[in-house]
Structure formats: C-alpha cells, structure tokens
Homo-oligomer: A and B are copies of this chain.
C-alpha cells in the first residue's frame, strides 16, 4: 500500500480519539442548576452564532464554487468545498467541546481541585486539537490520493483555499464578536458601574463568554487548521514543480529524480501522520503531568509531542531516501517556533509589561504611547528569527526547505492546538464560577488556570504568526514555481506597484476590523447602559431583576456577521484583480508586500495587546509600588487593555489569515496566469 493511503486511515483513527475524548468530557459532572443554566446559555449562544455564521458562509461557498468551476475546473472546485467543510467541521466540534468543558472544569475545580480541573479543560482543548490534526490529514490525504500526480497536484490547492476562506471569516467574525462583547461589557460594567468582571448583573457577560468560545476557540482553530493544510499543500506543490537543481539538492546517492519527486511530495503528508501520533502521545502524557505545576505540565506535553516527532522525522527522511538537509530545515522551523514563543512571552509578561505599568502612573496617554512602543519594538526579534530559519531552510533544502520547515513547525498541531484551546475553556470556567457564585476558593483555581491560559494564548499567537509567515512564504514559493516565473523582479515597476498595494491591504483590513469592533462595542455600551437604566433593581442586585443577555448576544452576532463580509471579499478578490490586470509578477509583488506588512502588523498588534492586558493585571496584583486596583494608574491601564483587546484578538490575528488566504488564492489561479 502506498504511504498516502495511511493518511486518511490515521486521520480517522485520530478523529475517533477526538470523539471519545469529547464523550469523556461530557460524562464529567456538570454541577448545580445555576451552573447548568449559565453554561447552557453560553452553549446555545455559541452554537446559534455558529449556525448563523455557517449560513452566511454557505452562500459564499456556493458562489465561489461556481467561480472556481468556471475558471479552474471541477476538481479544484471540489477540493475547495472539501477544505471549507473540513474547516467548518473542526470549528463545530471544537466549539461543542469547549462549551461543554467550561462548566465541567468549574465543577471539577469545586469538587476535586486543581489537577482535576486542569485535566478536564485540557481534554476539552484536546478535542479541538485532535479534530484539527486528524481532519486535516483526512482531507489532504484524500485530495492527495485523488490528485497526487505531479500534473494533477495543482487541484489540491483548492482544498487550502477552502480552508483559508473559512478561516478568514471565522477569525474576523469571531474576533469582532468577542471583542465587541468584551469591550462593551467592560466599559459599562467595570469602568462605569464599578462591578467586577463576569458579574451576573452585567447583561453583557454571557455574550463575553460566548465570544471567548467563538473567537478564541473556533477562530484560532480555523487559523491553525489553515496553516497546517496550507503548509502541507504548498510543500507538495513545490515538490511537484521542482526543477533539477532543487531535486539535486534534495537527493541522496542512488535515487532517480522522479522517484525522489514522488517521495518529496509524500513527505509532508507522512510528517503530518507522524506528528499526529506524537500529538496523541503528548496529549495522553497529561495524565502523568496533571498534578505538577500546571504551567509546566502544559509545556511538557508540548515537548513530549515535539521531541518524539523530531526523532521520528529524522528516520522517516532517511527511509524516504531524501537528503538529511531536509531534517535541518525542519529543525530550523521547529526551533524558530519555540524561539518566537519565548520572545512573545518576554514582551507580554516581563520588563516591557512593567514599563507600561510604570507609564500608567502619568495617565492613559503615556500608557498607550508605551504600549504602542512595546508593540512596535516586539516586531524585530521574531522577524530576525524568521529570517534565520528561512536562511537555514533554504541553505539545506532550497525552496522545498521553507515549505517543509513550516510543515515541521505545524506537524504536532494536535498538541499545540490543545494547549491553545485550553485557555478559553479555563477563562470560561472562571466566568461561570463567578456568575454561579462558587466562592473565592474555586475562583482562585480557575483564575490560576486562566492566567496560565493567557500566557499560553500569547505564546500560541506568536506561534500562529510564525507559522503563518513561513506558510505564506511557502505558498509564495509554490506560487512562483507554479506560475513558472524565473524572477519576480523588484526593479520592474509593476512588481513595486503590487508590493505597495499588497502592503496597504493589511492596514486596510486592520482599519475595517478595528472600526467594526469600535462601532459594535459602542452599540453594546448603549444596550447595557439601557438595561441598567430601565430594568429596576438590576444594578443593585435585586434577586427578581434579570438582565436580558440575549439582546447583547444578538448585537455581537449581527455585528460580526455583517462586518466579516467585506474583509473576506477583499482578501479573496484582490489577488484575482491584481493578477489579471497587472500580471503574474505584480501579483507576486503583492503577496510579498502583504506578507511583510501583515506579519509586522500582526506581531505589533498581538504583542502590544498582550502587554497592555498583562500591565493591567500587574497593577491589579499590586506589583506596581503605591498603586492597585481602582487607583489612577489602574484606570489608565484599563484604557490600554481595552485598546489592546481588538488589537490582539481581532485585527492582529486576522492578518495571519489574510496573508495566507491571498497567497492561496494566487496559487489557485496561478495556472491561468502562465
């Protein structure tokens, strides 16, 4: 049996493990009626939003299906639908698991303590992690079995485009949803009314908790799913179109070029299989680690997965008669991912945070100035690391090396995504325990898990950006190879025009998403103010006074669905327009410009937002001498945190997908531009 045949089989096994994990999570005790009621509201709100979102997406998918059918033929169109459906399924399952795991984490924290709570939330995240990895493998595997010959490999690109388009909508829509709710609830609740976070009197709290699932879980899942399949597919495309120079670089004595090409095409798929196996092992290792410090436990599971994968990858490459250089490229990619995570942690948890907190003493303006400075500053080190990994990967394995480095970074996505998805579950668990009044002891456990979740989320975002950058470059290389350009020449003014337009797009999408959040948050503020004003006894906490959270949920949902359309349409059609109007070289310039500007903006926004968030927490914890919760410096820091919210959770993450989606679209239409 050929190697690719194992991909869907292994994928299905992984998927079964995901479903089993889900059933196990669901079998955990749910707690008292109040908790059940709250969690049901969050669950219903999240699933209702997802349903409405998918209705909008269905129209988009049908429309684009026909466009691709006309332009590129049936195979690509079919692959497109496959990619879209896989991505949507991941989101659906991950969200179901997250909204089931949140309340059970709170109950585990109440009944059995930290270790049990950690395990429940981690398993909740593992459903998403495994779904992403295994559905990716099933989808790309089947596409590869159908279209795995060098001549037909181009059809597989449609799968990546399907995954990418869904990802953009999910990220942008989810990001707007969650931040409109968060900013609105905080501005009225915490700042104006002076009631605590997640207070049940606040009508926006349910929407805020729904938003955590919608944005951080479903959005992040779609983003990583896209990088995962995008990196595999780009590498397949590069291998399919590789010329003799590249094949020479990859070869070992005793293998001919076409056999090598076939092996190089199947390698990314095999690595993904190996990565899935070690992800499962990493996830199960949590049973061993659950009683140690949770932050360490989360790190160790990732290390188990990544370490095992690297060792196995070395032997797989040998077995496929491919040069050892490919292993060095993979190692470079993996190390780059770790290093970017460390830098992200530094900028969002160390000296820079203290600097912002210190600047809060002179008011919100200096807090913002320093936060922006930290965001801007945090761009350079990750970029240098990405440059080093490009250099190493290219040195050892040419353009193929850049693609396979991204694959290596993402192969253990099963476990890295688990750690990512754990964060919002812990966050939600904290919200539920506050709303259900489970008391300070429980809240302390969930707060502890949530705090770790914030750090892992920041690291996860750094990882997402790093992998997006490498994936985008791999897709860019695949585009250049497919479109049969010898050069994309920057001396040619049309390339420069493409570069400038490409660079402007992330700024434009950033503007759209920031405005959307600002506008929707404004409406949310008005609605929450209205409820506090018009519902008698609500603010005073009278037991008969019930808030109307559904109205807030609806405001967020409407805003998200309306505002996600334009960015998505721009990202899909801009490359098509530039490609056909200005030519293949200009389109290449556009991709390069979008990647540079997009990665930089993403880094600036994510890190700046994370640093603002933690500067606020730093003051709340009393670490800024002479200041504390409620003081002037804290108020200033709350302003920074609020500005950082759409930065780190809406606009910043949208950039990753924007650049990948544009590159994928370019790759899909490449055959028409030759």
- Residues on A close to B: CB < 8 A? 183, 187, 191, 359, 362-366, 368-370, 372-377, 379-380, 383-384, 386-387, 390-391, 394, 399, 402, 473, 477, 480, 485-491, 493-497, 499-501, 503-505, 507-508, 510-512, 514-515, 517-518, 521-522, 525, 588-589, 592-593, 596-597, 599-600, 604, 638-639, 642-643, 646
Contacts and interface: CB of A to CB of B under 8 A. Distances in A.
A552 to B, nearest CB: 16
B496 A363 contact: no
Contacts of A387: 497, 500-501
Given A364-B364, A518-B359, A518-B366, A477 B491 contact: yes
Nearest to A508: B380
Nearest to A373: B514
A477 B370 CA distance: 37
B369 A643 contact: yes
Contacts of A399: 491, 493
B369 A646 contact: yes
A643 B497 contact: no
A670 to B, nearest CB: 13
A368 B375 CA distance: 15
Contacts of A503: 383, 596-597, 599-600
Given A183-B369, A366-B642, A597-B597, 12 more contacts: A362-B525, A366-B518, A368-B639, A369-B517, A369-B521, A372-B514, A376-B508, A376-B511, A377-B511, A377-B515, A499-B592, A503-B596
Nearest to A370: B518
A376 B503 CA distance: 12
Contacts of A485: 491
A518 B646 contact: no
B383 A187 contact: no
Contacts of A521: 362, 366, 369
Contacts of A646: 369
A510 B365 contact: no
Given A387-B497, A402-B493, A604-B507, A373 B596 contact: no
Contacts of A366: 183, 187, 518, 521-522, 642
Contacts of A377: 507-508, 511-512, 515
Contact of A490 (B362, B488, B514): B488
Contacts of A191: 363
Nearest to A518: B369
A487 to B, nearest CB: 4
